Amino acid sequence: MTARAQVVARHTGRAARDERPLSGSLAEVTLDDGRVVVVKRSDEPGAARAEAAGLRWLAAAGSVRVPAVHGHEEGWLVIDRVPRGRPGPDAAVRFGRDLAALHAAGAPAFGAPPPGGPVEAFIGLAPMRNEPAADWPRWYAEQRVLPYLRRAVDQGTVRAGEAAVVERLCEELPELAGPAEPPARLHGDLWSGNVLWAADGRVWLIDPAAHGGHRETDLAMLRLFGCPHLEQVLDGYQEDAPLAGGWRERVGVHQLFPLLVHAVLFGRGYAEQALSAARTALAE
C-alpha cells in the first residue's frame, strides 16, 4: 500500500482501489466504494492545515460550493473531487450571488485566519501571514503589499529605485481605498484556476488562501487572471451586494497584492505589472 493510499484509508475509512497522478503534488484516488477523492501533498509545514481550515470556513458560509474535507495530517490533505463541466452565463450569475453571500458572511477582522487555521499560512507557494487588524488600508499595506515588495527588492525582481511608487501608494491608501467596509470572508486566491465550473451547473472553489479582507480584492483577482463570463459574475454579485462607487478605479490597488506575490514567485514580468498598477492607481 502506498503512502497516499494509507492516508486516504485513515481519513475516509475506505481502501484505495486505484490511483491516478494529476501533477507532482496532486492525485485522484478511487475508493473501493467507487467514490473519487483528491489527495494533495505539500512539503510546507502547516499548508494542509491552512487549506483544510480555509475550505471549512468557506463551506460554513453556506454559499459558494467547495469540496468537502475528509481530513488532513502533516503534508497531506484529502478532499472530494469536483466533476468538471463547462462555463455558462447562468452559472456565472449564480456564482456572483454566491460570492456576494460568502463575503457577507464576514470575518472577525482584516487578516483574521479561518477558525483552526494557522497565522503563518500560504497563498500558492508563497508564505502569507494572517495577523488580525481593524484598519484595512494599514493592514493591507503592512501585511499584504510591503512584505512582498521587500522580498521582490531583495531578490532583485524589483529594483530599489522602483519600490518608491509602491511605497507611495501604501502611504496614500487611506485616500485611495474608498468607503470603509467591514471585513469580508475572502477566498483569498481567486484566480480562474481555482474556479471550477462543475458538472452540476454550479461553480466550485478550490485552493483557498482564506482570511478576512476587503471584498474587492477577490473580485480584482478574478479580473487579473481572467474568468469566463466575468461580467455576468459581476452582474450577479451587484444584484445582491452593490459595490461602492469608484470600485473600477480601485481594481489596480487590490491587484497589487497578487501581482507582487507572483513577482516573488515567478519573476520580473509580474513586477512590471505591479509597478504599472501602482502608477495607474496613483494617477486616477
Query: How much is the pLDDT for 102?
Result: 98
* Contact status, residue 148 vs residue 263, Cβ threshold 8 Å: yes
Average pLDDT estimate for 255-272: 97
3-class secondary-structure state, position 165: helix
CATH code at position 43 = 3.30.200.20
Above 80 in pLDDT, residue 1? Answer: no
Average pLDDT estimate for 96-112: 98
Residue 208 sits in which domain range?
89-283
In angstroms, the CA 34 to CA 17 distance is 8
pLDDT tens profile 120-147: 999 999 999 999 999 999 999 999 999 9
Above 90 in pLDDT, residue 160? Answer: no
* Contact status, residue 201 vs residue 176, Cβ threshold 8 Å: no
Same domain, 13 and 137: no
Helices 146-155, 163-171: crossing angle, 10 deg rounding: 170
Average pLDDT estimate for 205-210: 97
Lowest-confidence region among 45-49, 152-156, 217-221, 270-274:
45-49
Same domain, 74 and 116: no
Closest by CA position to 236, among listed 77, 135, 123, 90: 90
Same domain, 62 and 24: yes
Q: Where are the beta strands (DSSP E) in 6-116?
A: 16-21, 26-31, 36-41, 69-73, 76-80
Last residue of some domain: 80, 104, 134? 80
Instruction: Tell me whether residue 200 is one of the annotated catalytic residues.
Output: no
| DSSP state letters, 117-129 | --SEEEETTEEEE
Query: How much is the pLDDT for 126?
Result: 94
Same domain, 74 and 128: no
Please tell me which residue in 98, 189, 207, 218 is annotated as part of the active site. 189
What is the value of pTM for the model shown? 0.95
pLDDT tens profile 60-71: 999 999 999 999
Same domain, 11 and 51: yes
Same domain, 152 and 271: yes
